[in-house]
Chains A and B, each alone.
Chain A
Amino acid sequence: MLDAALVALSQLSDPTTLLALIAGVVMGLLVGILPGLGGTAGLALLLPFVFGMDPTPALAMMIGLTAVTTTSDTFPSVLMGIPGTSGSQATVMDGFPMAKRGEGTRALSAAFVSSLFGGIFGAFVLSFAVVAAKPIILSIGFGEQFMLVVLALSMVGILTGINVWKGLAACALGLMLGALGAAPLSGVQRATFGTDYLLDPLPLVIVGLAMFATPEIIDLLRRQSTISQTGKLGSGWLKGLRDWASNWWLSLRCAVIGCIVGALPGLGGSVVDWIAYGHAIQTTKNREKYGTGDVRGVVAPESANNAKEGGALVPTLLLGIPGSGSMAILLGGLLIIGIDPGVEMVTDHLDLVYVIIWSLALANVLGAGIAFVLAPQIAKLTTVRYVLLAPFMFGIIFFAAFQATRGWGDLIALFLLSVLGVYMKRFGWPRPALLIGFVLAENVESSVYQTVALYGATFLQRPVVIVLLILTLLSVAAAVFYKTTHHDPMTEDSPYKSTGLGPQWVFFAGVVAFTLYILLDAQSYNQLTGLYPTVAACVGLACLVPLGLNMAFRRTPGATFFDAEHGSGAPGDECRSAEFFLGLLLGMLLLSSLVGYVLGIALFIFLFLWKWAEVKSHFAALGAIAFVLFLGILSDQLTLRYPTGLLQGYLGVDLPWPLQ
């Protein structure tokens, strides 16, 4: 074993291999920074190069890329409030408030050390797991997967915000959104609203952007001139390091969670950040600070999401069964270079396994190092006038959404879900709860059915199931007994006031209507297809009814009510409404439907900068041109075809690169 480890290290010190690793790391950092692109898109980008490469450098490059996307994805999460990949959604919760407070550097610094630690820990665990983990992974059957999903769902309890019914209803809404499109058990298309787009389920990246990115961008546009309220950056490098050091125990626990969630079947990597975040809230003191810019809320998810990669490699290498989307592509890459993962790989090609482990560790060091060096420059964005950034942010999130299925449907889905996200934020519906419900929807549906079909109630006799059940009960107890005490005043002069409820009722009615639609639609299918949406919708109604009754009969301010447009903290009359900005986005989409996405977004950026941000027209044009070039380069590298409009479709105009 030691021999193989040393042989692998000497292979890795070969200049070609080292260069390949560095190339992979740089590419990984880039795709991590761009929202919507993650390890999956990055590896897809590498595949053509992998053909004809020697196995060792090819491995180093692919692992280098996968290892660091969850390092650099922290930049947009912390600085912009836009999750860089689905693995850093939870980082937004506390990282972005820190940036708004002028502590962007401190948050980044703490995040990068956590990523580095998590990544190295993951590599360390992997080196032992490849020889010993097979029986553990094989002991996680359907019953255990089902309990893992239940345990993850119980995290919602701690993230429901101050009104439990709203929180649970938001989670149920997520479970229902996850029921749209092809049913996992029968392939039948549910509630497609007559569109081809919903042949597949809604893409997670779009739901994530709609819940976090759009509402934040619009909110910032309305309230603030720069992201950092102080307009300053703060020098928090050492502070961030010390933050990590004083929370090393939390960081270690979350790294362990990351490895476990990554390695075990059933959950998939995209909830790992939320599980770590929920774990941090459940097990630490002063929990009311979470969500307002507590550095522990950055350390926890960032430690977990880098450790996840080491964990996810275990089943991929050991069994040839990928644990996530990016691992599926990595598996493809391995097959291309002639490596067939499986138990034989560990016995016959142990040196290659160690190339992977060393690459993983080294890439994490390189990635965190580069991120540290770049951070002060990139963090300056938070001191730039936000109106100058916003149109580009919109351009980037629509580009990111478009990566999901590369069709018009992505842009429309992002817009519609963004409307939901904006109003959920306004009316105090917890968006993390919706997201967790959405991410787990398919797992809930399949694992419940599979467990019952195979085991009936006897699955409760399995030892791992019992352990998980106890953990779940502890998790629920933590949520119930240590409910956050709320410090905001609930007066008639706050968002919690009991009058002016019109908009809240309209939103509530919209959610009820959607729930009823899902319920009604579900009745037209057989049990295999219809049971899950029926149950999800009934759970939704069970939470909506008490909420509605509360809203109807309560006369004093309280947690039942919330409208961010009320109270002293609300944006004043001089601010444009959120609807105005949603209208602008709709305008951008309409423009794109005429002239295609590239020209549409270019015109949008130009007009926004020129008319709204009052930039001189030639600078505005320069901004738009720069963005078009950026899209053009990406379309070349990623072989993308941007959505076209009437101009290209009916008039058949062929525009030259990069305008097509």
Chain B
Amino acid sequence: MIPFTRRVALGMAAAAMLAPTHSIAQDFSLEGETVTWIVPFSEGGGTDRLTRLLASTLTEHLPGNPNIIVLNQPGGGSVTAANAFHTDAPNDGTTLIMASTSTFLPVLLGSNVAEYDPNDWVAITGFARGATIYGITEELGVGGTDPAADHEALINADIRFGLETPISAEMLDLVSLHLLGIDARVIFGLSSSDAEAAFLRGEMNLNTDNIRSYTGDWGDDPTVNPIWTYGVIGEDGSLLEDPDLPDVPTFQEFYEAAIGEAPSGLGYQLQQALMNAKVMISKAIMLPPGTPDPIRDAYITAMQAVLQDPEVVAALPREVGSMPLNFGSETQRAIAAGTSMDPEVRDWANAFLMENYDTSLD
């Protein structure tokens, strides 16, 4: 169900050209080198933790066992570091970046501060991470068993929903609610931990988070119910249930049960592009533009080994949940889908933002 756009086509073409040849250049070695792994966020956050978890094992699997250092370059929600990475990073395999949704989203939304195109970067591995929207059962009257009844309840409920800004990864939730005709009182200026605190206090009664945080904080709390997940896009392009919350309907299933037909139209295309950016490319390990194939292939091979390391396997669900990983061209395709939007979809997004939040993407 990935909207097939020019950029997707280009991405796929590029991916096809870059497909592993299985004749990895034997002479590529990083012996004695120092590899700098840029984390465009501060220490201790999710992206940083995942990077550090992988970095210690990666060195064992790279040819020449280089020394790997993790370099945190926070600023502008990863945009500052990404701008510098795009223009300055050497493409000899000594510099890589751990990009995240925050890196891809400004490109999807056409923000003028992002002076990079991640489709030029060379993807190694992508990490999908599920997301869900959940609410206080009693206040919203959602039972989590019958989407049609839940939908009815949500339309009549006084929903209070806290998030950071209208133009952010949480735009996915705003668009999804809008498509379902659900009105919510939206309070801005709340980071995800502020929003969670307000939800905990009962000042908010609807919240959104990644699956890992949701199950950790609320998984066994009967007063809080997940309403839908955003699912995961399978290999054949169809939307599947979230592996961590298989019993919760995906947004599409919820929509079909509530409205009586499958979601479609420009708004839905926007929803899918945002879902791609937020869920499918939650994190991605990337090399700079123009990195030669042998280097890319060496990294893919190494990363595949890292992700089978028992210690990493044990710790990974804690960080990203249990969604399937993707590599190389597959990651490149997901990035293409999550960073491009047709002009009509963009117009729809602008009208939506202007009408509801007095703002636009331009």
Seen from chain A, the residues whose Cβ lies within 8 Å of a Cβ on chain B are: 40, 43-44, 47-48, 51-52, 138-142, 182-189, 196, 199-200, 265, 315, 319-322, 328-333, 335-336, 338, 340, 342, 405-407, 445-446, 449-450, 453-454, 526-528, 639, 641
Contact = CB atoms under 8 A, between A and B. Distances in A.
A529 B189 CA distance: 11
A321 B197 contact: yes
A629 B75 CA distance: 28
A142 B76 contact: no
Nearest to B186: A453
Contacts of B189: 184-185, 445-446, 449-450
A340 B358 contact: no
Contacts of B198: 141-142
Interface in B216-254: 216-217
Nearest to A330: B44
Given A51-B56, A196-B79, 11 more contacts: A44-B43, A52-B56, A138-B200, A142-B203, A182-B76, A187-B164, A196-B113, A265-B197, A322-B193, A338-B318, A407-B80
A200 B40 CA distance: 13
Contact of B44 (A47, A51, A187): A47
Given A187-B167, A445-B189, A48 B70 contact: yes
Q: Which 4 A-B pairs have the closest CB atoms?
A: A332-B44, A199-B76, A329-B44, A44-B43
A406 B193 contact: no
7 contacts: A43-B44, A183-B165, A186-B165, A186-B359, A196-B83, A199-B79, A450-B190
B72 interface: yes
A528 B358 contact: yes
B160 A454 contact: yes
Contacts of B190: 446, 450
Contact of A329 (B43, B56, B193): B43
A196 B115 CA distance: 11
B187 interface: yes
Contact of B217 (A187, A342, A454, A527): A342
B358 A453 contact: no
B289 interface: no
A405 B74 contact: yes
A67 B189 CA distance: 30
Query: In this complex, which of B165, B168, B190, B198 has the most chain A Cβ atoms within 10 angstroms of its Cβ?
Result: B165
Nearest to A526: B358
Interface string B253-269: 00000000000000000
A186 B318 contact: no
Contacts of A51: 52-53, 56
B42 interface: yes
Contacts of B357: 528
Contacts of A52: 56
B71 interface: yes
B45 interface: yes
A183 B188 CA distance: 11
Given A44-B72, A527-B358, A639-B70, A138 B201 contact: yes
Nearest to A443: B189
B196 interface: yes
A407 B188 contact: no
B52 A47 contact: yes
Nearest to A334: B44
A497 B114 CA distance: 53
Contact of A450 (B56, B187, B196, B358): B187
B76 to A, nearest CB: 3
A406 B76 CA distance: 13
A152 B338 CA distance: 44
A182 B357 CA distance: 17
Contact of A186 (B48, B79, B167): B167
B49 interface: yes
A488 B152 CA distance: 72
A338 B319 CA distance: 11
A322 B193 CA distance: 8
A330 B42 CA distance: 12
Given A342-B216, A453-B187, A526-B358, A200 B70 contact: no
A200 B166 contact: no
B187 A336 contact: no
A453 B44 CA distance: 32
Contacts of B178: none
B69 interface: yes
A196 B69 contact: no
Given A200-B75, A335-B318, A528-B188, A141 B201 contact: yes
A47 B34 CA distance: 20
A43 B75 contact: no
Given A321-B196, A454-B160, A332 B45 contact: yes
Interface centre among B72, B202, B357, by most A CB within 10 Å?
Answer: B72
Nearest to A636: B69
Contact of A187 (B71, B72, B165, B196): B165
Contacts of B52: 47-48, 51, 336
Nearest to A48: B52
A51 B83 CA distance: 30
A639 B154 CA distance: 49
A189 B44 CA distance: 26
B185 interface: yes
Contacts of B291: none
Contacts of A315: 197
A114 B306 CA distance: 49
A526 B52 CA distance: 40
Given A185-B165, A340-B216, A196 B80 contact: yes
A328 B74 CA distance: 15
B17 to A, nearest CB: 30
Contact of B80 (A138, A140, A320, A405): A405
A194 B260 CA distance: 50
A639 B193 contact: no
Nearest to A641: B71
Contact of A199 (B75, B168, B188): B75
A45 to B, nearest CB: 9
Given A138-B201, A405-B75, A527-B358, A43 B43 contact: yes
